[in-house]
Structure 1
Amino acid sequence: MILVTGATGLVGSHLLVRLLQQNEEVKALFRSEKQIEKVKNVFAFHNQTILFDKIHWVKGDITDIPSLEIAFKNITHVYHCAAMISFEPSDEEKLRKTNIEGTANVVNCCIDFGVKKLCHVSSIAALGDPKEHETNITEEIEWNPEEIHSDYAITKYGAEMEVWRGHQEGLKVIIVNPGVIFGFGFPHQGSDVLIQLIKKGLLFYTNGNIGIIAVQDVTSCMLELMKSEVSGERFTLVGENITLKDLFEYIARLLQVKPPSYQASELTTTFAWRLDWLISKIISKKRKITRATAKASHSRTTYDTSKIIHTLQYSFLKKEAYFDKIIEN
């Protein structure tokens, strides 16, 4: 039997559809009944509503060990999709609790219950830091703790360290590092926030690059890697490296709205994150832009996907193959 953590999230819900289409028996970890309704919508989107009732739902939390122990009974394979995504500095403790401690709990249960293989969903945010002369990020580039990283990136990197610990203790593992994931079913969350900003009339763009990927590609790679003999490896999953300007203009065309027309310089974004910090302190409001996100918005690096392409002979979808369906729904 297969266990999916984070089953009510974007990757987890689309993964459930794929697993059940392959006649797998699946347990899905959830925290709130309200979120299950979103999963049902994802199944409807794929015209697979009939498969929804085959899910074995287990209420629990990766930070709650007793509930995990119940979920792990009779489990042979685990897809660990659960994580907290936030770029708000005040969420640092919650990020560490969920992403690092939660992953450590999952790894420990995998070892204790004799799980055959674990797939951990990480992020490109946890990949290494290229040196000054490097513009291409591969799985082999080393993490530099002296560089500026968001708390999210730091905790996803810390989560990977827990997975590698499990591998050293004999657990078969793979790690996938997806870019910004786009897919149906989670309005006003994750990547859809970007779509909504453009829909509302976002004015500014920066000169940086972004790595994007369809949720279909993420789940396909996860499934193929778990069925393979590959273990102890991580894989960058980016369907397309694109400038923020080009991505914003493409989304705006699909939405039939005016694209952002003003380029924000590094000086402008530096001023913006400092001002945002001051305002957040005065009125106790969550941050919209931080030092780390401002820096990332100007990055011109690209993500190298040759490893996953060579390993699986895989071809990624281009944005034209899936974005219109997301926008329409």
Structure 2
Amino acid sequence: MTTLVTGATGLVGSAVVSELINRGESVRILRREKSAMDLLGELADKVDHRIGDVTDRVSVDEAMQGVDVLYHVAARLGFGGKKETRDMMRVNVDGTRNVVDAALHAGVKRMVHTSSIAALGRADWSEGVMDENSEWQDSPANTVYGVSKHKAELEVFRGIAEGLDAVMVNPSMIFGVGRPGENTRQLVDQVRRRQLPAAPTGGNGVVDVLDVAAGHLRAMDEGGTGERYILSGENLSWRTIIDMVAEGFGVRPPRLQLSLPLGMVLATVMEASGRLFRFRPLITREAVTQASRTFEYSNKKAVDELACTFRPFQETIERIVRAIG
């Protein structure tokens, strides 16, 4: 049996590949020619490489030939900006459309699509703990990334209507060793280097990348066609997250709280400077708005139906500290 993984060189994709190799599956990956291979490490020699891009239908079709099951993990994450918005829509929406269509054409038996809690929608700030039944509503509260992942889900649902056996997983904020400067590793490095001046006032769901990878395989094996499963370990405030990271590295956490008004002023200045001097701003108004709110998610469905387990966030931090010192 041949298993294809897109996005295999990223944080989640590389962890999924590791899980698959550990259980003896024959793994093929679709990657760009210049993709960094550091997160795959020695696993890079144990997989079949196909060069291409999810936005290129021809290369997707070629990679899909002879594939039995598929993990579509590839995605672009970002917070606003015209270029980032274009890239997210191109990779997350158009790329998913290509993967779904190629899977249908190739007769792939089953697909797991990596979605996000952002695809659940955030129309009502005060709706409490969200689950898989939360319905998307168009709202300024949704991030551009969330919109792109919602539209990607619609492509998967379309594929299901056309005969594709597919299931989706919706991870919360994923923590792992990762790659410096990317995803939550950027936050971890800012805290350990004492470069974070203040903590946001909100909170979010957090989950270990190892549990996310295991959840992908559980979804493949046990998930219902057309179902979504939230993969999230704990709901924590940003203050708690930052304090735990700081304690793990033995540094003092920032004492200040970043209020929404102050954060918006700083983000506006940084966005303007970024446009003027052509650099990516450290924070954006969209990021500040999201970080000032508290979002909580239920993992009950994944636990009950997939038998997923989620380690404490403290254990995740300890593993990251051991890895990067």
Residue 151 of structure 2 corresponds to: 158
Residue 102 of structure 1 corresponds to: 95
Q: Is the 8 A contact 1:129 1:137 kept in 2?
A: no
Displacement of 1:82: 0.5
Residue 181 of structure 1 corresponds to: 174
Displacement of 1:130: 5.3
Within the alignment, does 1:38 sit opposite 2:34 as a pair?
A: no
Residue 8 of structure 2 corresponds to: 7
| Distance of 2:35 and 2:270 partners within structure 1 | 33
Displacement of 1:322: 2.6
1:215-269, CA deviations, whole angstroms, 9 ceiling, x for partnerless residues?
1111111101111262110111111111100110110011111101101212212
| Distance of 2:190 and 2:304 partners within structure 1 | 36
| Distance of 1:132 and 1:324 partners within structure 2 | 32
Following superposition of structure 1 onto structure 2, how do residues 281-292 of structure 1 map, counting pairs within 5 Å?
281-292=275-286
| Distance of 1:125 and 1:176 partners within structure 2 | 12
1:34-89, CA deviations, whole angstroms, 9 ceiling, x for partnerless residues?
5124311xxxxxxxx4x653311111110111111111111011000101112141
Question: Which blocks of at least 5 consecutive residues in structure 2 are unaligned?
Answer: none
| Distance of 2:208 and 2:302 partners within structure 1 | 15
Q: Are the structure 2 counterparts of residues 229 and 11 from structure 1 closer, same or farther at C-alpha, using a change threshold of 3 Å?
A: closer
Q: Is the 8 A contact 1:130 1:141 kept in 2?
A: no
Q: Match of 1:250, SS?
A: helix
Residue 74 of structure 1 corresponds to: 66
Residue 24 of structure 1 corresponds to: 25
Residue number among 82, 85, 89 corresponding to 2:81 in the alignment: 89
Residue number among 307, 317, 321 corresponding to 1:313 in the alignment: 307
Q: Match of 1:231, SS?
A: coil
Partner letter of residue 79 of structure 1? Answer: Y
Within the alignment, does 1:53 sit opposite 2:35 as a pair?
A: no
Q: Please give the TM-score of this superposition, normalised by the length of structure 2.
A: 0.93
Q: Is the 8 A contact 1:88 1:287 kept in 2?
A: no
Q: Is the 8 A contact 1:130 1:137 kept in 2?
A: no
Following superposition of structure 1 onto structure 2, how do residues 79-228 of structure 1 map, counting pairs within 5 Å?
79-90=71-82, 91-129=84-122, 131=124, 133-201=126-194, 202-228=196-222
Partner letter of residue 280 of structure 1? Answer: G
Q: Are the structure 2 counterparts of residues 294 and 60 from structure 1 closer, same or farther at C-alpha, using a change threshold of 3 Å?
A: same
1:183-238, CA deviations, whole angstroms, 9 ceiling, x for partnerless residues?
23422211100011112211201220121111111111110111126211011111
| Distance of 2:277 and 2:210 partners within structure 1 | 41
* Matched-pair identity in %: 31
Displacement of 1:320: 2.2
Q: Please give the TM-score of this superposition, normalised by the length of structure 1.
A: 0.92
1:156-182, CA deviations, whole angstroms, 9 ceiling, x for partnerless residues?
111111111101111111111111111
* Number of residue pairs matched by the alignment: 320
Residue number among 225, 228, 233 corresponding to 2:227 in the alignment: 233
Moved over 6 A (4+): none
| Distance of 1:24 and 1:39 partners within structure 2 | 16
Q: Which range moves more in the overlay, 221-230 or 209-218?
A: 221-230
| Distance of 1:149 and 1:129 partners within structure 2 | 5
Q: Are the structure 2 counterparts of residues 117 and 251 from structure 1 closer, same or farther at C-alpha, using a change threshold of 3 Å?
A: same
| Distance of 1:16 and 1:181 partners within structure 2 | 17
Q: Match of 1:227, SS?
A: helix
Partner letter of residue 264 of structure 2? Answer: T
Question: Which blocks of at least 5 consecutive residues in structure 1 are unaligned?
Answer: 41-48
Q: Is the 8 A contact 1:241 1:302 kept in 2?
A: yes
Q: Are the structure 2 counterparts of residues 250 and 88 from structure 1 closer, same or farther at C-alpha, using a change threshold of 3 Å?
A: same
